[in-house]
């Protein structure tokens, strides 16, 4: 099987790049953390990679809103490079802040003639949330989620509430299978709302029409080993964390 190369894009304030690169390498890829300035200097830098990942954190301190500054950089200065990357059948993954960047950059194709079709707004509680959630895969549209039915993953965000512009827009994405990941009820989280941030239609992740661009608010890179589970000493033994399959699917996509 060929070894895909992963570009994990760094920017000031990103803080999950190393963990994400480690997860990809554990899945069999070769990963490199690259600062956005290097890509801006060399627009063809991404040609040598098969996967682009926008990791979690607080890019540019989220000073103008989560993901807005880096999203605008990608939209205004690297749109041609990103367009070529997508047209070549490669994969793009955005995790937490990376999901916010995907929306702001237009990479999820949520914008149309009427303007932005979706955003990630402040949590309904108005507070930063750091906890574990149960997820179900609602569509087989994305190769990142192939073979996965449910996942138990951590979240950590203040602006993660998925909001669609209107019901017709949401219904269109629903029919096309792009609302791929949902929060759902779990016996492990009975004391807290299963939808942690008030997201419309319980959406935790969305892909583009091709399925090859995926954004999700939960952090799969934070649960690749069983010892990362908050109750791992009390549970029956298991081999790996639920998030590992997301990264393995990306590697196997290029087999």
Place of tokens 């138990």: 152
Residues 6 or more apart from 6 whose CB is under 8 A from it? 21, 24, 29, 30, 31, 32, 49, 50, 51, 52, 53, 250
Residues 6 or more apart from 221 whose CB is under 8 A from it? 16, 19, 20, 22, 23, 55, 56, 95, 243, 247
Residues 6 or more apart from 217 whose CB is under 8 A from it? 96, 99, 120, 155, 157, 160, 162, 197, 204, 205
Per-residue tokens: 185:
């009820």
Residues noted as catalytic: 96, 219, 221
Rounded to whole angstroms, the Cα distance separating 52 from 71 reads: 14
Determine contact, residues 64/101, Cβ cutoff 8 Å: no
Residue 153 DSSP SS3 = strand
Per-residue tokens: 137:
């895969």
> Phi-psi category of 194—alpha, beta or left, where left has phi over 0 and alpha has psi -120 to 50?
alpha
């Amino acid at each position: 099987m060929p070894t895909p190369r992963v570009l994990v894009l760094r920017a000031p304030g990103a803080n999950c790049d190393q963990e994400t690169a480690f997860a990809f390498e554990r899945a069999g890829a070769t990963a490199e953390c690259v600062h956005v300035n290097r890509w801006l200097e060399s627009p063809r830098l991404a040609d040598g990679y098969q996967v682009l990942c926008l990791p979690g954190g607080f890019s540019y301190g989220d000073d103008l809103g989560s993901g807005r500054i880096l999203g605008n950089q990608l939209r205004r200065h690297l749109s041609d490079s990103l367009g070529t990357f997508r047209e070549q059948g490669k994969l793009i993954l955005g995790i937490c802040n990376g999901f916010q960047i995907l929306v702001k950059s237009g990479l999820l194709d949520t914008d149309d003639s009427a303007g932005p079709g979706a955003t990630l707004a402040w949590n309904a509680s108005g507070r930063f949330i750091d906890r574990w959630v149960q997820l179900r895969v609602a569509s087989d549209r994305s190769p990142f989620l192939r073979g996965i039915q449910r996942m138990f993953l951590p979240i950590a965000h203040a602006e993660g509430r998925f909001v669609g512009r209107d019901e017709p827009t949401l219904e269109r994405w629903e029919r096309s299978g792009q609302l791929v990941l949902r929060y759902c009820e779990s016996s492990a989280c009975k004391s807290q709302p299963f939808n942690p941030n008030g997201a419309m239609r319980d959406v935790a992740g969305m892909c583009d029409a091709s399925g090859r661009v995926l954004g999700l608010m939960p952090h799969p890179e934070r649960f690749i080993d069983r010892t990362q589970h908050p109750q791992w000493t009390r549970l029956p033994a298991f081999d790996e964390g639920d998030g590992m399959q997301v990264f393995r699917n990306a590697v196997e996509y290029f087999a």
